Structure 1
Amino acid sequence: MSVLNRRSFRYPIAFLLFACLCVAGFFAGYRTGFSSGYSSGRAKYQSEDPYPVVYQVGDLIRATRDAGVSPDTPLDFSTLMRVTQSMVFPAEWEQLGGNCSMASFPSLELLVIDATSGVHARTKELFEDMDSLKPAIAEKEQERLQLKRMQQEQVSKALEPVSKRLGETLVPIDGDVKLTGKWDVKIVAPDGKPATNQYTFIDQETFEAESSDPFFKSGKQWFSVSDGAMVAIGAGFHAAMNSDDALILVPTNDPTTYLRLTRTDI
């Protein structure tokens, strides 16, 4: 190899070594600066003393609760407080060992939060975000109520033949109705002798049939209820109560048959 070639080969290697040293120095400086800045910022944040800020949240709570709630119903501050503590720096609240706290004053519709500036800033953003959703929440709630009314009309129409046969007014059940306990069951078809049974509702998702009947085998069964309806293994029913609190179940595939359930352990 000639002298010229050796020199031209040596200089690029020197240049590459110099470039590598520059890059390494840059990253080392960046890492040191980042660590130092993060540590000092974190220390400042942790050393800051909490201070109280008063938040007017009455309208916010009203806008985010069910439209069907009576205006006289007390405002539910606890839900808003839980949401705030779970979404705004959870570790900074007293429940998890932090220094921030909050207290509600329902009669004044106020929430007083004792926190650092960072927590206050994020809390303000959260409340503003929730406030901006009020129109959408109200619209969705109206849609939900409209859908519920339509469902109630459909259930009432399906119950009408049985209601006329019984000569009773039937009111669709609510989804949170409590059925736990023993019920005597009378199954009435348009033709044939009525069948009887006894169902024991163990909890809100399990009941036990004492013996087999046209709808269920004996033993434990899974079930679920919603507004105006009950669904069990392999069967769906329109569900309503009469004036005597008897539960009337009308099979969705046979509106001429019904089950009348009467509590035995009142």
Structure 2
Amino acid sequence: MSVLNRRSFRYPIAFLLFACLCVAGFFAGYRTGYSSGYSSGRAKYQSEEPYPVVYQVGDLIRATRDAGDSPDTPLDFSMLMQATQSVVFPGEWAQLGGNCSMAPFPSLELLVIDATSGVHARTAELFEDMDSLKPAITEIEQQRLEWKRMQQEQVSKALEPVSKRLGETLVPLAGDVDMSGKWNVKIVTPDGKPATNQYTFIDQETFEAQSSDPFFQPGKQWFSVSDGAMVAIGTGFHAAMGSDDDLILVPTNDPTTYLRLTRTNN
């Protein structure tokens, strides 16, 4: 090969190497700038303090709830709240360790959301986008119904031994039951020796035991009721209504024992 040919071959190689270096430098600079910008934006987003915004959501809830609901049915804020938290940056809400929260004010049909500007912006978009909001609420409702069905099956199975002993059909307790008033209590254990007591339910979270029994000491106790369950000072019970509207409580850790509560006329 002649000297001329070798030189003409050498220059294109050098040019290609130079071009490759230029392209590599461009992409390296782009990536560095992108990473720096992303990190800076993310840090700013995370450091931003939440602030409250009031949302008027009465008409929004009416527009997204079941068409069969009566106009007089109280507004259910929980569905809208759960849908919002599942769609709008789920990791930013307090339930998952974030800093954002919300609280309903049913009497004013308001939802107060304490969140960052990004969460507020996305929430406002969601509330205006019925095509996205309705499916989200429908999915939450389906999940709730499925969870309730599974819970009822679990409670019914746990109550089955006591139901057979009593010869009665036990219906899982509704979470909104009014338990106020005095109840005569009969506690039946596997040895067949019943104990008696009287509980006075003062409000929806406090009752008073008249005397000592295997579960409670005399005096006031706190309790909480949900569908098919009752918890009192740390003790869990499966809860159901029996015949004559008696309340049946079965300890979750002892399905062979039960408490039968009969409301007094006093």
Q: Is the 8 A contact 1:61 1:76 kept in 2?
A: no
Describe the shift of the 1:76–1:230 C-alpha distance in structure 2 as closer, same or farther (beyond 3 A).
closer
Alignment-derived partner of residue 73 in structure 1: 70
Alignment-derived partner of residue 260 in structure 1: 260
**TM-score by structure 2 length?**
0.57
Alignment-derived partner of residue 232 in structure 1: 232
Matched, 1:83 2:110: yes
Alignment-derived partner of residue 161 in structure 2: 161
Shift of 1:195: 0.2
Query: Tell me, which stretches of 5 or more residues in structure 1 are unaligned?
Result: 1-56, 88-123
Matched ranges for 1:63-142 at <5 A: 63=64, 65=65, 71=68, 73-74=70-71, 82-83=109-110, 127-129=127-129, 132-142=132-142
- Aligned residue pairs, count: 168
What is the aligned-residue identity percentage?
A: 74
- Write the distance in 2 (CA, Å) between the matches of 1:232 and 1:82: 33
Q: Is the 8 A contact 2:182 2:199 kept in 1?
A: yes
Describe the shift of the 1:226–1:72 C-alpha distance in structure 2 as closer, same or farther (beyond 3 A).
closer
- Write the distance in 1 (CA, Å) between the matches of 2:74 and 2:265: 38
Describe the shift of the 1:76–1:187 C-alpha distance in structure 2 as closer, same or farther (beyond 3 A).
closer
Matched ranges for 1:199-210 at <5 A: 199-210=199-210
Shift of 1:201: 0.2
Q: Is the 8 A contact 2:223 2:230 kept in 1?
A: yes
Q: Tell me the SS of whatever aligns to 1:153.
A: helix
CA deviations 1:121-144 (Å, max 9, x no partner) are xxx967523553110110011001
Describe the shift of the 1:257–1:222 C-alpha distance in structure 2 as closer, same or farther (beyond 3 A).
same
CA deviations 1:206-236 (Å, max 9, x no partner) are 0000000000001000100001000001310
Matched ranges for 1:170-185 at <5 A: 170-185=170-185
Q: Tell me the SS of whatever aligns to 2:145.
A: helix
Alignment-derived partner of residue 223 in structure 1: 223
| Amino acid paired to 1:198 | Q
Describe the shift of the 1:234–1:127 C-alpha distance in structure 2 as closer, same or farther (beyond 3 A).
closer
- Write the distance in 1 (CA, Å) between the matches of 2:143 and 2:202: 34
Q: Tell me the SS of whatever aligns to 2:161.
A: helix
| Amino acid paired to 1:82 | E
Matched ranges for 1:1-16 at <5 A: none
Q: Tell me the SS of whatever aligns to 2:163.
A: helix
Alignment-derived partner of residue 36 in structure 1: none
Matched, 1:242 2:239: no
Matched, 1:61 2:88: no
**TM-score by structure 1 length?**
0.57
Shift of 1:154: 0.1
CA deviations 1:26-67 (Å, max 9, x no partner) are xxxxxxxxxxxxxxxxxxxxxxxxxxxxxxx69x6252x3x6
Describe the shift of the 1:190–1:227 C-alpha distance in structure 2 as closer, same or farther (beyond 3 A).
same
- Write the distance in 2 (CA, Å) between the matches of 1:176 and 1:143: 20
Q: Tell me the SS of whatever aligns to 1:236.
A: strand
